[in-house]
Amino acid sequence: MVLKHEDGTKEEIPLAHLFNEGQIEWFKAGSALNLMASKFKQQKQQEANQQ
């Protein structure tokens, strides 16, 4: 992880976690349901753009 301080300096901190890639996506989205809703919305927009 890279921390970016207000004074422009950066600090790198190595992290170890047990999350898989899918779980990290869930975390970033706020929950698995939020991620599913987002992907559903993207899919519907793509379908609408193809028509």
pLDDT for the residue numbered 42: 94
Report residue 30 as tokens.
Answer: 């706020």
What's the whole-model pTM score? 0.53
- The residue count of the chain comes to 51
Alpha-carbon distance of 44 to 5, in angstroms, equals 39
pLDDT for the residue numbered 9: 97
The residue ranges of every structural domain in the chain are 2-50
Report residue 20 as tokens.
Answer: 């898989």
| DSSP-derived secondary structure letter, 34 | H
pLDDT for the residue numbered 33: 92
pLDDT for the residue numbered 13: 95
pLDDT for the residue numbered 17: 79
Q: What is the pLDDT along the chain (51 residues), one digit of tens a residue?
A: 999 999 999 999 998 878 899 899 999 999 989 999 999 999 999 999 998
